[in-house]
Amino acid sequence: ALLNAVAVLIITCPCALGLAAPAVQVVATGRLFKRGVFVKSGDALERLAQVDAVVMDKTGTLTLGRPRLLNPADVPAETLTAAAALARTSRHPLSRALVEAAGPGEPAKDVREAPGEGLERDTPSGSVRLGRRSFAAPEANASEPDGASELWFAAPGAAPVRFLFADALRADAKAAVEALKARGMSVELASGDRPAAVAAAAREAGLDAFSGGLTPQGKIARLEQLRAEGRKPLMVGDGLNDAAPLAAAHASASPGSAVDASQAAADLVIQGQTLSPLVEAVDVARAARSRILENFGLAVVYNMIAVPVAMLGLVTPLIAALAMAGSSLLVTLNALRLQT
């Protein structure tokens, strides 16, 4: 009786059950790490596997985030210098492009940043602003219907100046969008950029759903709308304005070139210049979920067979120990299938 009791205690050790999920997560995160995807939270892969909608930012996410100024010859040198002084206090891609076009210089002091709007600084003659038209120059004529991104600069006593920028899509942006759609996901573009520029990028990337001119609150509202429809959205963004939407999404990802706040809010950080690792992360997350369910099934089947056999006194403690170790090895080997 004592030997039977010991055998039962050994054979019911929940090692296989305890290893079922952690072993898979370790293998899955290791595989993604080799592909340049850093998984930051323990349940990130579980939530990513449930995602059925993708909401992407444009500048720095769908595009490379390296825009260039298109109209430097149309802007007076002193205006470009003054605007660049404000831009040097921001990490927004358009601000960096403006600084690059202006050349070396000192950043302006006492600059305030309005999230999703722009930069502002008080001077003795009045407020100086750089940002979207509605923020910097609401009295200016509506933007031309071109596909360029823009910044407006307004200073007291001078007419507002429009800076035009162009940014190329990531090399595999269209392929990544098609791959995500092929996996049963809806994909849309949600950007704070002007609607005409967002529409042009969406058409080039093969996206039918897009929204432009969104504030961070507007992006959060769109995510909440998807949640209300029973969807589980993945937010992909890189800017300071995307930090709150990233935190509000069911799962989130951010490029390695993103600002620190966005990387801190995201569940995944993707290195490199392409979006293909995002597609692989979705595939690995779904495969990991399947492996975890398989491991739980193996652990349950093992206990359903082994426990009655041990209770009937048909195994010795040594055989029970071997069976227990074998079940743990089995779920571990099943998890290792995710390596390839």
Given a contact cutoff of 8 angstroms between Cβ atoms, the answer to whether 178 and 191 are in contact is no
How many CA atoms lie within 13 Å of 304's alpha carbon, on the beta-carbon side? 6
Rounded to 5 degrees, φ, ψ at 235 are: -100, 130
| Straight-line distance from the first to the last Cα atom of the chain, in angstroms, rounded to the nearest whole number | 47
283 is catalytic: no
184: left (phi over 0), alpha (psi -120 to 50) or beta: left
d(CA 86, CA 27): 46
CB pairs under 8 A, 24+ apart, for 1-8? 3/313, 3/316, 3/317, 4/310, 4/311, 4/313, 6/317, 6/320, 7/310, 7/313, 7/315, 7/316, 7/317, 7/319, 7/320, 8/307, 8/310, 8/311, 8/320
Pick the catalytic residue: 57, 167, 193, 267? Answer: 57
Residues classed as catalytic: 57
